[in-house]
Chains A and B, each alone.
Chain A
């Protein structure tokens, strides 16, 4: 099996696994007064400090959530209250669904947000919340988030940044970006699923309106007992996930080989994540490609994963103006531990598939 679907979920890092097991054995509820509670609380707060500092925020401004989707929803709920919403055309459904009825910020052919359009949209009405992801999950395309933050500041708008795919793969510094909130997910950087976080700008963090009030955990910003094992694993992974630049040559080799076999690389003209490649095979349905590769032992994905398991057409590639290719593209995303063997296995399977399917499509 060759797993090349890290953007769906990263390979668990051994440090994270150790931390999860240790926290499971530790037990305890951080809200408890007694010794076991204090031990749990210490672990929770150490994790909070580790993650906040690692991504350029203050521990007091970090709210743990169940994952990236909840972090995005919390940001839209808390920061978007009373504001009109402007959402990047290629945002994840976690944001698009939370921000229903939002104005759409268009992207160019490589999937990069159009800052001139953002300036125009910001000028069209009252105070806004803008949602713009740092790196796209399907193409890896990076958005000019720091520049967008500057425009938002000038216009009196707030900016929420979904950094779920970027964190751990490229440098992410919340303070330097100048954003008002930033969503993170444990399992996208090699931690376990079940934990995420929202970093909030110091001026907004204290009174953040919760989505779930519950017992007032997380200083009243997120009710519910925090999943300590997942959070401990999240922190351990965040400490060791120090960028994926080393994957770029492997990704480039995989992409070059696929293009020689007939693929078109989408979004490759813009700065992007070092581990991600979006490859269209003209005339061949994306789901057929994913199935054919899976049967050959190579795991990739396409479009948005629906809970039905069907491959839905990609709104990201549609927004980029990819036309028919939007339904004919797969995503190859290398895990942090990928090496030349993975690229070789991928290219063997891809060439065989492309030869058979392109011939039939012709």
Chain B
């Protein structure tokens, strides 16, 4: 089968390309050029392509497969970076990796796969696709430490049906590195990538400030009642649940405070006592990976979060999540529905209704 492999230049997607080629598939490697690396790293005259593109090409050369670099800069800027900065300026905490998966990766690369007559797209994500009675299901990876299912909740069922995740069943990262080493891939011992790809150094808040200078302006830290208790250095540096960067507002009368809301319009950081929260979470842009219905499940409100038992109720424009116990979800983050290892769907957390 002809398979398009999204190669980032890292060890995971390199191992995927190697495994599929070894299995006898006709593998076509593609690497998305998402941003100008020379500009992002602020080095004058640096090539627009970073080391990762170079590495992806070396891996493809080693495997003897064709490899192409796709210019996705304009699309990535509009669909991911602008959305990222807009969300922070509104007082939300976006997940750019989900946006990127939703747009540039799964939508555009599957279209390219169609254009090139490839039957499937394969990526190095740590999730499993399992054939179930309703069709393809999305499941957590075998390795809980590497599981990326939360980041892939927005993959549609049609996309899932055509996508392969060969690493989902790997016991751990060491096993993937062992595959890369066995295949002689030049990236076998390359360190894992960290943080947000388009902020290779410095602070993500600088990226936000370039597009939304107001999100970097200082403002008041207030209590829920509106009492000013401190100053902040730009709402883009805060997320709901955060306890750092609060200065004198960090506690009152021995009670630790955390951020409970961000008011983008008034550039205010709202704090309240730690341990509080809400039981009702409203979601937008909900993606269902099962039949849309009211159901009981466990939800994850952040990438690194425990599971919260909850009931889900579909609404006209999304869904309501009724948590059994209060939690402090951050608007803009994803709320993903799990039934055991299976992802049933998910959506983006809405800010609390005004007033």
Residues of B within 8 Å of A294, CB to CB, are 66, 68
Given contacts A308-B33, A308-B49, contact A360 B114 (CB under 8 A): yes
Known A-B contacts A307-B47, A307-B49; the reply to A312 vs B71 at CB < 8 A is yes
Contact B115 A288 (CB under 8 A): yes
> Do A292 and B71 touch across chains, with their CB atoms under 8 A apart?
no
A306/B48 in contact, CB under 8 A: yes
Q: Is A34 an interface residue (CB 8 A)?
A: no
Residues in A lying within 8 Å of B, measured CB to CB: 284, 287-288, 291-292, 294-295, 306-313, 356-357, 360
How far is it, in angstroms, between the C-alpha of A307 and the C-alpha of B57 when the chains are bound?
A: 12
In the complex, what's the smallest C-beta–C-beta distance from B1 to chain A, in angstroms? Answer: 14
Chain B residues in the interface with A (C-beta under 8 A): 28, 33, 47-49, 53, 57, 66-71, 111-112, 114-117
> Contact check: which of A288, A308, A356 meets B53 at CB < 8 Å?
A308
C-alpha gap A294/B115 in the complex (Å): 13
Contacts known (A287-B70, A308-B69); A295 close to B28, Cβ less than 8 A: yes
A residues in contact with B114, CB < 8 Å: 360
Q: Judging by beta carbons under 8 Å apart, are B115 and A309 in contact?
A: no
Q: A309–B53 contact, CB under 8 A?
A: yes
A271 to B66, CA, bound (A): 36
Task: For the complex, give the distance between the alpha carbons of A309 and B31 in Å.
Answer: 10
A295 and B65 CA atoms in complex are apart in Å by 11
Is there contact, CB below 8 Å, between A295 and B49? no
A350 to chain B, nearest CB (A): 14
B-chain residues with CB within 8 Å of residue A292 when the two chains form the complex: 115-116
Contact of A309 among B28, B49, B111, B116 (CB under 8 A): B49
User: Which residues of chain A have C-beta atoms less than 8 A from B53's C-beta?
Assistant: 308-309
Q: Which residues of A contact B66 (CB under 8 A)?
A: 291, 294-295
Query: Which residues on B sit within 8 Å (CB–CB) of A313?
Result: 71
Given known A308-B48, A308-B53, contact A360–B115 (CB-CB < 8 A): yes
Residues in B whose Cβ lies below 8 Å from that of A307: 47, 49
Instruction: Decide if B49 touches A310 in the complex (CB within 8 Å).
Output: yes
B33: A residues at CB distance < 8 A: 308, 310
The answer to whether B117 touches A310, judged by C-beta atoms less than 8 angstroms apart, is no
**Residue contact B116 to A295, C-beta cutoff 8 Å:** yes
Determine how close the nearest CB of chain A comes to the CB of B299; give it in whole angstroms.
Answer: 38
B68 and A287 within 8 A (CB): yes
User: For A312, what are the chain B residues with a Cβ–Cβ distance below 8 Å?
Assistant: 71
Q: How far is the CB of A97 from chain B (nearest CB, A)?
A: 11
In angstroms, Cα B116 to Cα A313, docked, is: 21
Residues of B within 8 A of A356 (CB): 115, 117
User: Which residue from chain B places its CB closest to the CB of A303 in the assembled complex?
Assistant: B71
Contacts of B69 in A (CB 8 A): 308-310
Q: Which residue of A lies closest to B73 (CB)?
A: A310
> Residue on A with the closest CB to B115?
A288
A309 to B54, CA, bound (A): 9
User: Beyond A295-B116, A309-B68, A357-B115: 20 further Cβ-contacts under 8 Å?
Assistant: A287-B70, A288-B112, A288-B115, A288-B116, A291-B28, A292-B115, A295-B28, A306-B49, A307-B47, A308-B47, A308-B48, A308-B49, A309-B49, A309-B69, A310-B33, A310-B49, A310-B69, A310-B70, A356-B115, A360-B114
A-B contact pairs, 21 of them (CB 8 A): A287-B70, A287-B71, A288-B112, A288-B115, A288-B116, A291-B116, A292-B115, A294-B66, A295-B116, A295-B117, A307-B47, A308-B47, A308-B48, A309-B67, A310-B49, A310-B70, A310-B71, A311-B71, A313-B71, A357-B115, A360-B114
Q: A287–B57 Cα gap in the complex (Å)?
A: 17
Chain A residues whose CB sits within 8 angstroms of the CB of B67 once the complex forms? 309
State in angstroms the CA–CA spacing of A306 and B117 once bound together. Answer: 26
- Distance of A306 Cα from B36 Cα, bound (Å): 12
How far is it, in angstroms, between the C-alpha of A287 and the C-alpha of B49 when the chains are bound? 16
If A309-B57, A356-B115, A357-B115 touch, whether A291 touches B49 (CB-CB below 8 Å) is: no
